[in-house]
Amino acid sequence: MNNKPMPWLVVLLTLMSATVAAEESFLPNMQRAPKEVITDHALPEDQVPLPAWPRDADLLELTLDGAASPFRYFIDRQQLLIDKNGVVRYVIVIESRNGGRNVAYEGIRCSAKGQAKTFAYGASNQFVVLTDAQWEPLATSASLYYQQELWRFHFCNALEFRPRPKTDILYSLTAQRAH
């Protein structure tokens, strides 16, 4: 019987020890790294006041990448805020070709894959709170694709999973792409 270790076994053991050493250097006490960092809410979401109804003069048009949409999308620049929980809150106005409008107060979390929540819908020039709204993964459906665009190109720093400063978001929306 051959007493020499098999080359693949030596490589495997070396890789395993390097992985353990790397984990120990970054994660004290061998704690597991979280898959995604989501902080507890510093302020309950239902205690955040609803925004004012959007004014046309304050709307920034959002141009979506991809196929042409039958809708136009607008963000209210005056109601854009980053709350204490790191959620980017905004008012979205979605306008059809015939001028009909849907208005919603929403939030996006800048997590690894993004999450969105609709806090309130607009009706009769005022917001109606959704009491059972939940955080959901960003939708890929055409009707909610604007959330993907806001998360990817405007609201979030993709490398740090946190919101951009409000001034950067507004510049990005005005310029239609941040660099």
Q: For 102-134, b where at least 16 C-beta lie within 10 A, e where not — what string?
A: ebbbbbbbbbeebbbbbbbebeeeebeeeeebe
8 inside domain? no
Q: Which pLDDT score is estimated for 59?
A: 97
35 inside domain? no
d(CA 44, CA 61): 30
- pLDDT digit string (tens) for 69-126? 889 999 999 999 999 899 999 999 999 999 999 999 999 999 999 999 999 999 899 9
Contact (CB, 8 A) for 85 and 41: yes
18 inside domain? no
Question: What letter represents residue 84's amino acid?
Answer: K
36 inside domain? no
170 inside domain? yes
- pLDDT digit string (tens) for 29-47? 333 333 333 333 444 655 6
For residue 75, list its beta bridge partners.
60, 92
25 inside domain? no
90 inside domain? yes
Binned at pLDDT 50, 70 and 90, residue 141 comes out as confident
Q: Assign 68 to helix, strand or coil.
A: coil
| pTM score over 0.85 | no
98: containing domain: 45-175
The mean predicted confidence, pLDDT, of the chain is 78
| Residue 64 reports pLDDT greater than 50 | yes
- Number of structural domains found in the chain: 1
2 inside domain? no
Contact (CB, 8 A) for 76 and 57: no
Per the listing, tokens 């990005």 go with 172
| Residue 54 reports pLDDT greater than 50 | yes
